[in-house]
Amino acid sequence: MFARGHLPDPVAYYVEREGARLLGRGHWRSALCPFHDDTRPSLRVNVESGAYRCMACGAKGPDVLSFHRQRHGLSFVQAARDLHAWRTA
């Protein structure tokens, strides 16, 4: 079953796993959007919740699980497993 508490920290996920540069300060940071050919940081990322929203192409989601699914074309369970947030038994 899905174990939300095991999802990686949003900063660790976006920076270390996805190689994003998070610009700015505060809860919402800016980054280059991987969902379109971005030349300026159009993606807004919430470092508390992991939510993301692109001001240019409209890609969005509520957490790093959603980002991981969209970015890598995974099912919910595949993404949860990949992020070590899936527990059997």
**Binding positions for Zn ion, rule: CB under 5 A:** 33, 35-36, 54, 56-57, 59
Name the H helices within the chain: 10-11, 64-72, 76-82
Q: Whole-number minimum distance, CB 64 to Zn ion, in Å? A: 17
If the CB atoms of residues 45 and 85 are measured against Zn ion, the closer one turns out to be: 45
Gap between the Cα atoms of 43 and 58, Å rounded:
9
Q: Whole-number minimum distance, CB 3 to Zn ion, in Å? A: 29
Q: Whole-number minimum distance, CB 43 to Zn ion, in Å? A: 6
Distance of CA 6 to the CA centre of its chain: 14
